[in-house]
Structure 1
């Protein structure tokens, strides 16, 4: 079994949301870890 883990220094998840969604569709990692999201918990795009 292979597990793919990706870490990404995103430097503002809201500004790069489309990039993240495109990446997830293309590569379908098992785990995606985002650093420097630069938003509060209530601002994070959970429904994307």
Structure 2
């Protein structure tokens, strides 16, 4: 029978969360750069 250690699960979840946070930060930085390049103000984009 296969057994999975709780430590392995925690490590995998930690790695997944860390990757998602990095992806989100990368997208935020990209949006900020595009805003600056295109001179877009976020306040004017609200519906």
TM-score by length of 1: 0.29
Greater RCO, CA 8 A, separation 6+:
1
Higher helix fraction (1 or 2): 2
TM-score by length of 2: 0.30
Which structure: larger Rg?
2
